[in-house]
């Protein structure tokens, strides 16, 4: 009876050990796949990271970095809208940033993919700053979805930069209109006029100090 128990115990021990080794092997395969994707798309990721840092510095610090070499003509319209909107907001409420820093990190690497000459990946953008003469460091974090296209000469362009939350405009509608070849210029102009009215209403209704708190969250 003792021999049978020993045999049964040994059998289950082997099964557990094999299962552990199998799971460990699978985890290693996933890590290898992530590493390979990260390495394969490193040029495109570095390109998008550089672009988004320059964009944020333009948007929040008022810098004049040239974005035309990074974004396609259509996507540049969206990025310029965001800069224009934030410039207006900061001017209206006399807000500005200092001790400002942007950090870009790869995320969801296992979901990255290449479709022909198009490369799709996600990047997390983290901003840290002191806001409107405050000594307290604030921060914000969001994930952007990128599509980078490489032409026959190897030149790169960002053909999609999508922010699903806390955006200055309905980006899902923007990209849907682009896919249908609709007039996004007119739509963005109309949005901006409405945004100006909303900013004025918010300023009058909430008051300056309260709105600054709201602005940090956006």
DSSP secondary structure string, 117-159? TEEEEEEEEEEEEEETT-SSEEEEEEEEEEEEEE-TT--EEEE
Q: Give pLDDT tens digits for 156-205.
A: 999 999 998 888 899 999 999 999 999 999 999 999 999 998 888 777 65
State the pLDDT at residue 199. 85
State the pLDDT at residue 198. 85
State the pLDDT at residue 31. 46
Residue 54 near residue 71 (C-beta atoms within 8 A): no
Instruction: Tell me which residues of the chain have a pLDDT lower than 50.
Output: 2-12, 14-17, 24-34, 210-218
State the pLDDT at residue 70. 98
Measured CA to CA in angstroms, residue 121 lies from 16, 46, 50, 114 at distances of 37, 12, 15, 9
Residue 116 half-sphere exposure toward CB, CA atoms < 13 A: 3
Query: CA 124, CA 195: separation in Å to the nearest integer?
Result: 26
Tell the residue number behind the tokens 């200055």, with chain if given. Answer: 168
């Amino acid at each position: 009876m003792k021999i049978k128990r020993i045999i049964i115990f040994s059998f289950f021990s082997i099964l557990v050990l094999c299962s552990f080794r199998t799971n460990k092997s699978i985890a290693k395969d996933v890590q290898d796949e992530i590493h390979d994707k990260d390495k394969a798309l490193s040029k495109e990721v570095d390109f998008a990271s550089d672009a988004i840092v320059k964009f944020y510095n333009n948007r929040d610090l008022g810098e004049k970095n040239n974005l035309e070499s990074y974004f396609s003509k259509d996507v540049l319209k969206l990025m310029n809208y965001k800069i224009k909107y934030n410039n207006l907001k900061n001017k209206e409420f006399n807000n500005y940033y200092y001790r400002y820093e942007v950090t870009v990190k790869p995320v969801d690497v296992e979901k990255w993919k290449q479709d022909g000459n198009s490369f799709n990946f996600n990047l997390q953008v983290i901003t840290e700053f002191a806001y409107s003469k405050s000594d307290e460091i604030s921060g914000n974090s969001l994930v952007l979805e990128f599509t980078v296209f490489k032409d026959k000469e190897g030149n790169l362009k960002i053909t999609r930069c999508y922010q699903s939350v806390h955006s200055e405009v309905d980006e899902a509608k923007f990209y849907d209109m682009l896919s249908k070849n609709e007039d996004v210029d007119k739509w963005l102009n109309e949005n901006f006029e409405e945004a100006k009215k909303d900013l004025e209403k918010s300023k009058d209704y909430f008051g300056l100090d309260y709105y600054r708190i709201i602005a940090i969250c956006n």
